[in-house]
Chains A and B, each alone.
Chain A
Amino acid sequence: MSVPPKTEYSLSSMVGGCKLGIPSWQRRLYEQYFGFSLSVCLRYTASREEALEMVNDGFVRVFRGMAHFQEPEDQEHLSKVFMSWLKKIMIHTSINHYQSAKRKAERVDAGPAELQAEASGNMTDHMAYLDLVKLIQQLSPAYRATFSLFAIEGFSHEEIAQTLGISVGTSKSNLMKARKNLREMLEQLNE
């Protein structure tokens, strides 16, 4: 099935088609906003593969929740409102994934570490990429989420604490350590 160029379809049409659950409209919306969603998820995950998984999980939420999406009366603001809603879903999907993984890690004792093979790849591999988003991905999940929410999304520490289920003090501490790590990475890149 060939899909017409995405510019032929307005966001309003795509939203309307998705509200009716029509797969062809869902496909157009998915393909049009895939890149934007990926750019958001990359900041909250450790790898592109993980980010792709979050994008797909996020789109499942988008399509299931589309019926509840409130379109603004002024259609000119539709794109801004929709992208804000989509971004929020992608961030929450990624953070939920991070929190779920954290709970699982706390619950499941991995056993003797020396028995298990080392994780594939290391920091020096990632340092080859001159992409700041890639630097963020090298932060620990807690630091990465805190830094992205504060520095890029513009959340306050109170909002971050509420979103991540941590204290305001922990949020401030995480942000400070994330900045410190990023500086160190940048210095290494500049050397």
Chain B
Amino acid sequence: MDDEALDKLFRDAASRFQPPDAPEGAWDDFYKTKMLPAGESASQRRPLILRRSWQLAAACLLLAIAGMLWMLQRQPLPGLAGSPSAAGIVSGIIKDVPLPSGTTQLPAVLSPDDAGNVLRSLNAITTGSEPLLPGKEYTPLVHNGRAFSDIPKKAGAEQEHHPADTLQRKPYFSLRDKPAGERQALPGNYNPFLAETSPARPANNRWQVGLIAGSNLGMVRGDVSKKPGLNAGLLVQRKLGQSRFSVESGVVYESMTYDVNNADFNPNGNPVSSRVSNIEGSCTMIDVPVNVRYDVVASKKNKAFVSTGVSPTVIVKQSYIYDLDRGDGPVPINRDVSGKGKSVYAVANLSIGYEQKWEHVSVQIAPYVKIPMGEIGYGNLSLGGVGTQISIKKDL
């Protein structure tokens, strides 16, 4: 058969081809999947932001941020706003007023109300007016049985009207209502202003940085691997105000080994060949955890905490070892499949832990579980893990 005859054979066959009628429901399917906007979007690859795993991750992150903001609003930082800050402001002013030498005992600490009174009195001092609450009885601040107004002026002090003079003349401190006899004796070097206004925890140790190291076991659909992997990285932690919440983030390099059932392994989106068995995967990943931590138990030296969050994870290297049977018995095969398949996904983190602190350094241990929020890698695996992280952190 020459070329022309061959072509003619097919051309005639095509022309004789009896077009079939549209099958029942063809139009409905076409209209639903191709013409309606919803169907159209369903037939296309969904954008990253619309995928369920990323929506879940975004929701977790938003919840964490909302929680942080809520906690910050409920527990404002000292000295920023509200009545407690008056004490802070007063502290800044009053501590510069020289207390007489030899001051060993002061009767009480200032309450926020007292601090408010101090502010008002200071206002009166600086403007030269009378106290703002003339009807209220103020008890003079007493030092060694003498009121502050009886304490001699410092040598060289000016005689004309001076805020310091007014400070001495005017009784401006109201003390707690407790009778003097019931007040607790205070240490000799006790400074009531500083004691009242200083936060319980220094404000400058809210940031912590540290190193992480640990071990993990890969987990595919609940099947935990027997071979441990390693993880290591950097951690940054920020305490939220004076609450028990803090935010942790960092960069963690993680290696993982895992066994895979043939049913769970879909290389390049296809089912695995029946000639393949005993699949064992290994991968290295970089994840960036963003966790919110709550200290369930918080003392000065130790803490117990729970932590949750999400980790965007990038798989940087992956390989598989498996047995391949070409008809003459299984032969072990080792394949590097780095760069194949989806390389970014998200995992949800859950952990509990214990932290022990010494001065500005602390050590914590935290068992964790990582729950996959999507599929990753060449085999489209739901790859999670369990493990333990040990961190050494330093206050900044």
User: CB of A31 within 8 A of chain B?
Assistant: yes
Which residues of B have CB within 8 Å of A136? 10
User: CB of B53 within 8 A of chain A?
Assistant: no
User: CB of A161 within 8 A of chain B?
Assistant: no
Interface secondary structure of A, over-half rule: helix
A63 vs B40: C-alpha distance when bound (angstroms): 14
A146 vs B32: C-alpha distance when bound (angstroms): 33
Closest to A6 in B: B21
User: CB of B70 within 8 A of chain A?
Assistant: no
Partner of A179, one of B6, B11, B340: B6
User: CB of A128 within 8 A of chain B?
Assistant: no
Given contacts A151-B11, A152-B11, contact A110 B6 (CB under 8 A): no
Count chain A CB atoms within 10 A of each CB in B30, B33, B324 and give the residue with the most: B30
Residues of B3-29 contacting chain A, CB below 8 A: 3, 6-7, 9-11, 13-14, 17-22, 26-27, 29
B35 to chain A, nearest CB (A): 7
User: CB of A27 within 8 A of chain B?
Assistant: yes
Contact with A along B267-293 (1 / 0, CB 8 A): 110111111100000000000000000
User: CB of B363 within 8 A of chain A?
Assistant: no
Which residues of A have CB within 8 Å of B272? 115-117
Which residues of A have CB within 8 Å of B337? 111-112
- The bracket for how many chain A residues form the interface is 35 or more
B44 to chain A, nearest CB (A): 12
A108 vs B269: C-alpha distance when bound (angstroms): 12
Closest to B12 in A: A132
Q: Are B33 and A115 in contact (CB-based, < 8 A)?
A: no
Total residues of chain B contacting the partner, CB 8 A: 42
Contact with A along B357-386 (1 / 0, CB 8 A): 000000000000000000000100000000
A183 vs B7: C-alpha distance when bound (angstroms): 11
User: CB of A30 within 8 A of chain B?
Assistant: yes
A56 vs B29: C-alpha distance when bound (angstroms): 9
Q: Are A111 and B21 in contact (CB-based, < 8 A)?
A: no
Which residues of B have CB within 8 Å of A57? 34
Closest to B11 in A: A152
Which residues of B have CB within 8 Å of A116? 267-268, 270-273
Interface secondary structure of B, over-half rule: mixed
User: CB of A150 within 8 A of chain B?
Assistant: yes
Which residues of A have CB within 8 Å of B322? 115
User: CB of B97 within 8 A of chain A?
Assistant: no
Given contacts A111-B337, A115-B273, A179-B6, contact A63 B19 (CB under 8 A): no
User: CB of A35 within 8 A of chain B?
Assistant: yes
A140 to chain B, nearest CB (A): 16
Q: Are A39 and B30 in contact (CB-based, < 8 A)?
A: no
Which residues of B have CB within 8 Å of A26? 35
Q: Are B276 and A56 in contact (CB-based, < 8 A)?
A: no
Contact with B along A26-61 (1 / 0, CB 8 A): 110011001110110001000000000000110110
Partner of B340, one of A34, A59, A111, A147: A111
User: CB of B320 within 8 A of chain A?
Assistant: yes
Q: Are B17 and A39 in contact (CB-based, < 8 A)?
A: yes
Contact with A along B225-249 (1 / 0, CB 8 A): 0000000000000000000000000
Chain A contacts to B: CB under 8 angstroms = 23, 26-27, 30-31, 34-36, 38-39, 43, 56-57, 59-60, 63, 108-112, 114-118, 131-133, 136, 147, 150-152, 179, 182-183, 186
Beyond A112-B333, A152-B11, A179-B6, list 13 extra A-B contacts (CB 8 Å): A30-B30, A31-B21, A38-B20, A39-B14, A43-B14, A108-B340, A111-B267, A111-B335, A114-B275, A133-B13, A151-B10, A182-B10, A183-B6
Query: Top 10 closest A-B pairs, CB basis?
Result: A35-B19, A34-B22, A151-B7, A132-B13, A31-B22, A115-B267, A116-B270, A117-B271, A112-B335, A39-B17
